[in-house]
Structure 1
Amino acid sequence: MKTDIIVIGGYGHVGSQICRLLGGMHPGKVYAAGRNLKRAEEFSRSTGGYVKPLRLAAEEPLDQRLLKRVKLVVMCLDQQDTRLAEACLQRGTHYVDVSASGEFLSKLQKLDPVKNGLQAAALLSVGLAPGLTNLLAARAMQELEHTESIDISIMLGLGDSHGQAALEWTVDNLGAAFEITEHGKARTASSFTGSKSTDFGFDLRTRTAYRFPFSDQQTLPVTLGVPSVSTRLCFDSRISTSAVAVLRRLGLPALLRNRTCRNFAVRAFGKFRFGSARFAVKVDAYGLKNGKPMQIEYGIEGVHEADITAITAAGVILNLYESAPPPGVYHIEQLFTLQPDGNRLSLVSAGKAGTGVSMAYPLNGVTFWTRSTVR
């Protein structure tokens, strides 16, 4: 009988929090896995042993005997190909991916349950962005009769503590070119271009955000059928945001292709603290309601982005562990919705995709607001 959960990258910044949350519910069944067994063992001891250690490198072939007892694998590391995910799904082991690489998630999304022999479910777009951004976009879209476009804006706190993988992903994509969908057609955009002034609400006020290759803008046109979706990024420090935008125009992408410069930038982002640990997400949905042009705004705010990523991931993982949908590849907005209660939110599984089970999981740590405006 399959009972175990393996979290690859489970002793990392986000993975360790996911392990603690899952281990509290299923002590002795959760394994913090990675290539460094010593670090996994140290983390296991810090939990009192209710999370177990395991050496497992993501790029190495999976031990098929391991999959006989593993019910669910959680991936907290960036990958280049889908071999590990396919191996899990073909052996009846569910797979959850906590990453933001649009290219990789698009590869997974193309897996066909019948053609690829899938025997379990994969759940993608799990965390803050993608994840809560997808769910906020879906919720805002439900208020409109017709949705023309969705703009997603993300503010991250440079005073927060970010994991190594997140720092590397951010730096590596400062000069990236990526695909977006506008008016139903694909086009190429570049990081830190296409600025937009965004009101994040609360006491954060307006900030300028720039395009960035979060995967939600690549998957939402497919899952929600929205003709235009864009995602932009800024930091809580306006000076830092402006500095990155200026450096980008002065040739930062070419500079970061040099390994030494790239590694220095990663260390600088990790070492220096500019601003606070606050994060915020704003979703603007534009369309028609009662025949009138409307703008629906949804916003959330909190501190420590890694915490809410782990909380969101743990919620969907626990639901998938107890009651999985039919074999296939899903994004979070295809199986879950957000349920507002005043300025609080809960993650709700309404029994979509044939599960027949409903679950409400409170997203402690975020504050929510919404408003509608006739354009």
Structure 2
Amino acid sequence: MKDQILVVGGYGHVGRLICEQLGKRYPGKVIAAGRRLSQAEEFCKTTNGRVIPRELDTTKPLPSDLLDKVKLVVMCLDQRNLDFVQACFANRVDYIDISANASFLSRVETLEAEAIKNETTAVLSVGLAPGLTNLLAKYTTRYMDQTEAIDIYVLLGLGDQHGKAAIEWTIDHLDTSFYVYSNREKVKAETFDDGKTTDFGRDLGDRTGYRFNFSDQHSLPHTLKVPTVSTRLCLDSRTVTKIFALCKRAGIFHLLKYQSLRTLAVWLLSKIRWGREIYALKIDAWGEVGGKRVLAECALHGQKEASITAAIATRVSEELYTNKWLKGIYHIEELFDIDSLCSDIIPEVHITEIGKETF
């Protein structure tokens, strides 16, 4: 009987939070898996048996005993190929991915026919960014008859504790170029370039965000049918944000291609505690209402980015585990909205509708 939930990377920074929350709801049905069995076992001891440890290497074929018992996989690790995802679909295992890797998620989308054929549901873009950013963008566009452009801003606190995988992903994208949609055409963008200022509201004020390769800006033009979407990143320290932008302009981030310097940068970011344990999201949506051009703004802020990522992933997991959904591959905003999915999380999250302005 397929009734188990496999959390891959389940003893990691975010994975353990997902396991703890799902373990309380489905004790004995949740598996914390990863390459290091000893770490999985050590973590599972803290759950009083609600979560089960398992050694698992995603680069190797999935063991048959797992395929026979697992109903749902929650993937908390970045992957290099599609073998694991294809194995899930072939064995009718539903799949959730919290990755922000745009190129990998686009490759998963190519497996749509396999997912439908095997009556499997996959939900991508689950977490903060992508995830809540997608849902908040959808929420904001409902103000308008037609949406022309969406600017997404992600603010992360330097006082927050971020997992090693998230820090490595950020470091590896500090010196990259990528393509975004502008008027339905792909245009080249550079990380930490093209700064743009927005108002995060009374507590945080005006902040300048810089281009960053979050995957939401790649999927939203298709799912929300918006011609232009961009995502920008800033840190709670204006000074550190500006330093990053200057380093990019000076070419200093080129040095991160050397492994020793990359390792040092990862270590430094993991140790920095110069700010608060906060995150904030801001959406500026441009469009038309009744023939008039309108700017609709919405902001959301909270504490501890890993906690909200885990909370969103847990809610989606519960929905897929207990209910029947359309078969195929979807981004979070195609199946859910922020009101229904986050109703029990909202007390920890503060949404501010900054307003709607005609121009």
- TM-score computed with the length of structure 2 as normaliser: 0.97
Q: CA deviation at 1:118?
A: 3.3
1:159 aligns with 159
Q: Which runs of 5+ in 2 are unaligned?
A: none
Equivalent residues of 1:178, 1:189 under 8 A apart: yes
**Percentage identity across paired residues of the two chains:** 46
1:374 is the counterpart of 2:352: no
8 Å contact 1:240–1:274 — kept in the other structure? no
Instruction: Classify the secondary structure of the residue corresponding to 1:326.
Output: coil
Q: How does 1:51-200 map to 2 (within 5 A)?
A: 51-113=51-113, 117-200=117-200
CA deviation vs aligned residue, 1:90-141 (integer Å, no higher than 9, x gap)? 2110000011000001111121325884331110000010001001111111
For residues 308-359 of structure 1, give each alpha carbon's deviation from its aligned partner in whole angstroms, at most 9, with x where no partner exists: 01111101110010113232101000000122xxxxxx516xxxxxxxxxxx
Residue matched to 1:297? 297
8 A contact 1:8–1:74 mirrored in 2: yes
- Quick one: distance in 1 between partners of 2:25 and 2:319? 12
| 1:267 aligned partner | 267
**Alignment partner, residue 8 of structure 2:** 8
| Unaligned stretches of 5+ residues in structure 1 | 340-345, 349-359
Residue 118 of structure 1 contacts residue 328 of structure 1 at CA under 8 Å; is this kept in 2? no
Matched residue count: 358
Change (3 A) 1:8 1:115: closer
1:194, 1:290 → 2: CA distance?
32
Q: CA deviation at 1:68?
A: 1.0
* Whole-Å separation in 2 of the counterparts to 1:363 and 1:306: 16
Q: Which residue of structure 2 lines up, in the alignment, with residue 237 of structure 1? A: 237
- Contact persistence 1:311–1:363 (CA under 8 A): no
CA deviations over 1:258-308 (Å, ceiling 9, x no partner): 000011000000012121111100011100011111111111001100110
**Alignment partner of 2:337: what SS?**
strand
Task: Please tell me the residue identity of whatever aligns with 2:123.
Answer: L
Structure 2 residue 308 is matched with structure 1 residue 314: no
Q: Distance in 1 between matches of 2:221 and 2:352?
A: 24
Give 1:28 shift.
0.3
Q: Does residue 287 of structure 2 align to residue 287 of structure 1? A: yes
Is the contact made by 2:161 and 2:304 (CA closer than 8 Å) also made in structure 1?
yes
Please report how far the alpha carbon of residue 361 of structure 1 lies from its aligned counterpart in structure 2 after TM superposition. Answer: 4.2
Cα distance in structure 1, aligned partners of 2:180 and 2:122:
24
Name the CA distance, whole Å, in 2 between partners of 1:221 and 1:295. Answer: 18
Structure 2: how far apart are the matches of 1:95 and 1:47?
A: 24
Classify the secondary structure of the residue corresponding to 1:225: coil
Higher relative contact order (CA 8 A, sep 6+): 2
Supply the AA of the counterpart residue of 1:69: K
- Give the aligned residue type for 1:191: T
1:113 aligned partner, one-letter code: A
Do 1:158 and 1:236's aligned partners in 2 also have CA atoms closer than 8 Å?
Answer: yes
SS in 2 for 1:68: helix
CA contact (8 A) 1:113 1:327 kept: no
Question: In 1, Cα distance between the equivalents of 2:299 and 2:59?
Answer: 37
Determine the structure 1 residue equivalent to 2:26: 26
Which TM-score applies when normalising by structure 1? 0.93
Q: Is the 8 A contact 1:312 1:363 kept in 2?
A: no
Describe the superposition over 1:15-74 as per-residue Cα deviations: whole angstroms up to 9, x where unpaired.
Answer: 000001101100000011000000000000011111110101122221133111100001
Amino acid at match of 2:164: Q
Matched, 1:347 2:341: yes
Looking at structure 1, the residues matched to 111 and 120 of structure 2 have their Cα atoms a distance apart, in angstroms, of 12
Q: What secondary structure is seen at the aligned counterpart in 1 of 2:112?
A: coil
CA-atom RMSD, angstroms? Answer: 1.3
In structure 2, C-alpha distance between the alignment counterparts of 1:362 and 1:279, rounded to whole Å? 15
Does structure 2 conserve the Cα–Cα contact (< 8 Å) formed by 1:154 and 1:233? yes
Q: Is the 8 A contact 2:90 2:114 kept in 1?
A: no
Q: Which amino acid aligns with 1:22?
A: L
What is the rounded CA distance, in whole Å, between the counterparts of 2:188 and 2:324 in structure 1?
A: 36
In 2, Cα distance between equivalents of 1:30 and 1:236: 35
Match in the other structure for 1:362: 345
Specify the code of the residue in structure 2 equivalent to 1:369: T
- Contact 1:113/1:119, CA 8 A, preserved across alignment: no
Q: Deviations over 1:201-245 (max 9, x none)?
A: 131001110000000000001111100000000000111101111
Name the stretch that deviates more: 272-281 or 24-33.
272-281
Contact 2:23 2:30 survives alignment (8 Å) = yes
Q: Distance in 2 between matches of 1:276 and 1:104?
A: 31
Deviation at 1:373, TM superposition (A): 1.2
Contact kept? 2:174, 2:191, Cα under 8 Å: yes
Distance 1:115 1:317 in 2: 17
Shift of 1:79: 1.1
Per the alignment, in what secondary structure is the counterpart of residue 209 of structure 1?
strand
AA matched with 2:345? P
SS at match of 2:19: helix
Alpha-carbon distance in 2 for matches of 1:114, 1:20 = 31
**Quick one: structure 1 residues 187 and 243, their matched pair in 2 at CA, closer, same or farther if it must change by over 3 Å?**
same
